[in-house]
Amino acid sequence: MYDTAIAQYLRGEDKFPQEMTIALKKSYNLHYGENPHQRAALYVEQVIGQRPSGMTSVNQLSGPELSFNNFLDLEAAWSTACDFDDPTIAIVKHTNPCGLCSNSDMIEAYKRALAGDPVSAFGGIVASNRPIALDLATEIDKTHYDAIIAPSYSKEALDLLKRKKKLRLLSLSAQPQPSKTSGIDVRPISGGFLVQDEDYYTEQEFEPRTVSKRQPTKDELRDLLFAWKTMKHIKSNAIAIAKDNTMLGMGSGQPNRVVSAELSLQKAGSAAKGSVLASDAMIPFPDTVEVAAKGGVTAVIQTGGSVRDEEVIATADKYN
């Protein structure tokens, strides 16, 4: 720890020094890793002058011991829900959100999130960025989940949910992003690591530029922000369909963007009429916009930068 303290002090505000030391302290062994044949353990990052934070400091209130995959899904669900300032429910399966909604009424937020993909939600993780009271717990209790995480629970909500002995209940103080102690994202590759800033921006930094002839409406702009914020929580190629601060469908991890768009529209169904679409990267061909428009989408947000940007924009104009 002495060497770590010196390294952290010398690094100061520089996230990318010539040499980097990351200190980890073993917390406990896990039954197994991502697969049964893999050994695993939980380690806590040691930062001088700071107490453990984030998912390593989660308080488990009931249920079986957390597994490696539980931690992955809990981190994904919690970071998704806490990425939104408004009351939000996120339902995650295999680290991808299958349900997501922000609404001042938490019961409505949960119902809309669940309606996004009730089949995939079964056995998943529910995250609420607001305390869970009895009325919300009663709704959640109707579906089988592996775990629930929230800032806190009312006594009545805990008493109800604890009746399911295999349901993991966890509490964690909602914290503003970024969530990682060091503020960096470290990814292992053979022979080394890739290090980058954690993916984080505020709503104040959301300044989309309209490139089509028609300006988005106020409601479309609100939903575009909501859909855009979901992008970092979905595996690329990622497409999300949203309306009324609710994710209606998403397509993730596909080799091309059109298939992701088709999958998201398939999930959304008839609800896609009047919705918006977000793409985590540039739309390289007009076909994605064609598919979206025919499915009922009225506005699209993407990074741009394709050599065919003009064709893509012209296609959007054709449907407005």
Higher per-residue pLDDT: 117 or 183:
117
Query: Is the per-residue pLDDT at 59 higher than 90?
Result: yes
Angle ∠(74,78,84) on CA atoms, nearest 5: 160
pLDDT at 19: 86
At 252-268, the pLDDT tens digits run 999 889 999 999 999 99
In contact, 64 and 170? CB cutoff 8 Å: no
Q: Quickly state the pLDDT bin for 157 (edges 50, 70, 90).
A: very high
Q: Quickly state the pLDDT bin for 208 (edges 50, 70, 90).
A: confident
Mean predicted confidence (pLDDT) in 125-149:
98
At 281-302, the pLDDT tens digits run 999 999 999 999 999 999 999 9
* Predicted TM-score of the model (pTM): 0.90
Mean predicted confidence (pLDDT) in 159-169:
97
Q: What is the topology classification, in CATH, of domain 203-318?
A: Cytidine Deaminase; domain 2 (3.40.140)
**DSSP annotation string for 78-109:** HHHHHT-SS-EEEEEETTEEEEEEE-SSHHHH
Query: Is the per-residue pLDDT at 174 higher than 70?
Result: no
Q: What is the topology classification, in CATH, of domain 52-171?
A: Cytidine Deaminase; domain 2 (3.40.140)
What letter would DSSP give residue 28? Answer: E
Angstrom distance (rounded) from CA 41 to CA 35: 13
Instruction: Kindly list the domain boundaries of the chain, sorted by start residue.
Output: 52-171, 203-318
